[in-house]
């Protein structure tokens, strides 16, 4: 991608004004790591958000409020009760890309290998977009389409609210790659709520093995109201993708993708159940 102009505004409102003036030629720059994957021959007017004050993690009563420009490296090193995104960040490609890539950049343009959309659907995050006025979208609406389609000219993803994991809840995250820095073949995130050894709520999400991150409602229904035992959880993961068409790349057959999903969903359910019942993750 080529730029014909570069701007580094010192505030969000200045960034939005620049983007409105630039029109279709404008492009937000966060970590710029997606640029090798994005097409387009026309030179763009780049609006870099690094000085716009959108980085940082603030816990409030119910959720962590994460600025869109927070890097994946910062998510990895942050620690607080009910915080689990360090576990997702640790599996994110390489230290160089964790240093550069931002949470917002990972969530505006979703690729099949994107990690955080899978995790944040499981965690029921919500998304604040600064436009003419600020608006908030819940997870299901935000990811109902390629999220970039929600953004009009001048809109900027401002922050993400990620609910704090409560007592009795556990998170599981599994990602299968051939080598650490490879693109994911299968990404799974699970949040389970368990009371008296019974699952009372479940969110099970698969990415990479399907074209876009997708909730597996048949697995959620199969575990809710049942004991959180290994036998029960693994049997719920027996036919993980159901009738959905697996994404087959790099010579993988549909059966192979199903088998990856069976293992990763089973392991993520087990990880979440153990944490929900008090075992250290």
Ligand X SMILES: Cc1cc2nc3c(=O)[nH]c(=O)nc-3n(C[C@H](O)[C@H](O)[C@H](O)COP(=O)(O)OP(=O)(O)OC[C@H]3O[C@@H](n4cnc5c(N)ncnc54)[C@H](O)[C@@H]3O)c2cc1C
| Least distance CB 92 / ligand X (angstroms) | 6
Q: How far is the CB of 182 from ligand X (least distance, A)?
A: 8
Determine contact, residues 71/102, Cβ cutoff 8 Å. Answer: yes
Residue 25 token pair: 């030629």
Nearest to ligand X of 100, 277 (CB atom): 100
Strands (E), 177-249: 186-195, 198-207, 214-215
Does position 75 interact with ligand X (CB under 6 A)? The reply is no
Q: Which residue is nearest to ligand X (CB)?
A: 105
3-state SS string for 41-99: CCCEEEEECCCCCCCCEEECCCEEEEECCCEHHHHHHCCCCCCCHHHHHHCCCCHHHHH
- The nearer residue to ligand X, 31 or 209, going by C-beta atoms, is 31
Residue 155 has a CB neighbour count (10 Å cut-off) of 19
Sole binder of ligand X in the list 8, 25, 32, 224 (CB under 6 A): 32
Within positions 172 to 211, which residues make up the interface with ligand X, using CB under 6 A? 183-184
Contact 117, 107 (CB under 8 A): yes
70 scored as a contact of ligand X (CB under 6 A): no
**At its nearest, how many Å lie between ligand X and the CB of residue 7?**
13
- Region near ligand X per CB under 6 A, out of 22-30, 57-65, 78-86, 211-219: 22-30
- Residue 9 lies near ligand X (rule: CB under 6 A): no
Integer Cα distance of 165 and 276 in angstroms: 9
Residue of 143, 279, 133 lying closest to 211 (CA atoms)? 143
Judged by CB under 6 A, the residue of 75, 85, 113, 188 near ligand X is 113
User: Using CB under 6 A, which of the segments 79-87, 98-106, 229-237, 240-248 binds ligand X?
Assistant: 98-106
Residue of the chain from 33, 214, 235, 259 that contacts ligand X (CB under 6 A) = 33
Cβ within 8 Å of residue 57, ≥6 positions away: 64, 65, 66, 67, 70, 74, 75, 78
The SS3 of residue 182 is coil
Say whether residue 127 binds ligand X (CB under 6 A).
no
For strands 26-29 and 44-48, give the pairing.
parallel
* 105, 170, 172, 209: which one binds ligand X (CB under 6 A): 105
Q: From the CB of 194, what's the least distance to ligand X, in Å?
A: 28
Residue nearer to ligand X on the CB measure, 144 or 181: 181
Of 37 and 217, the one with the shorter C-beta distance to ligand X is: 37
Q: Does 34 bind ligand X (CB under 6 A)?
A: yes
Type and span of the H or E element at 38: none
Burial of 205 (C-beta count, 10 Å sphere; 0-12/13-18/19+): buried
When asked if residue 118 is in the footprint of ligand X (CB under 6 A), the reply is: no
Instruction: Establish if 106 lies at the interface with ligand X (CB under 6 A).
Output: yes
3-state SS, residue 16: helix
- If one asks whether residue 232 binds ligand X (CB under 6 A), the answer comes out as no
Q: Does residue 31 belong to the site contacting ligand X (CB under 6 A)?
A: yes
Q: In the complex, which residues of this chain contact ligand X (CB under 6 A)?
A: 27-36, 49, 68, 92-93, 97, 101-102, 104-106, 108-109, 111, 113-115, 151, 156-157, 183-184
């Amino acid at each position: 991608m080529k730029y014909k102009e570069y701007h580094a505004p010192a505030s969000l409102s200045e960034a939005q004004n620049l983007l409105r003036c630039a029109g279709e030629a404008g492009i937000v720059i966060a970590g710029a790591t997606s640029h090798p994957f994005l097409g387009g021959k026309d030179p763009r007017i780049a609006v870099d958000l690094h000085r716009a004050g959108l980085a940082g993690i603030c816990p409030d009563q119910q959720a962590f409020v994460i600025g869109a420009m927070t890097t994946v490296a910062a998510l990895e090193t942050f620690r607080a009760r009910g915080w689990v995104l360090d576990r997702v960040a640790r599996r994110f490609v390489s230290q160089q890309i964790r240093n550069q890539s931002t949470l917002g950049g990972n969530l505006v343009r979703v690729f099949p290998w994107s990690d955080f959309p899978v995790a944040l659907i499981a965690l029921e995050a919500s998304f604040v977009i600064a436009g003419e006025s600020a608006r908030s979208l819940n997870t299901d609406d935000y990811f109902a389409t390629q999220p970039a389609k929600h953004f009009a000219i001048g809109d900027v993803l401002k922050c993400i609210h990620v609910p704090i994991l409560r007592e009795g809840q556990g998170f599981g995250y599994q990602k299968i790659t051939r080598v650490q820095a490879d693109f994911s073949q299968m990404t799974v995130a699970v949040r389970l709520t368990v009371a008296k050894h019974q699952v009372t709520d479940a969110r099970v999400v698969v990415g990479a093995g399907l074209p876009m991150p997708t909730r597996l409602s048949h697995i959620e229904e199969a575990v809710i109201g049942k004991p959180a035992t290994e036998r029960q959880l693994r049997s719920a993961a027996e036919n993980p993708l159901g009738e959905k068409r697996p994404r087959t790349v790099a010579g993988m057959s549909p059966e192979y993708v199903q088998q990856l999903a069976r293992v990763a969903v089973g392991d993520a359910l087990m990880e979440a159940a153990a944490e929900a019942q008090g075992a250290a993750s």
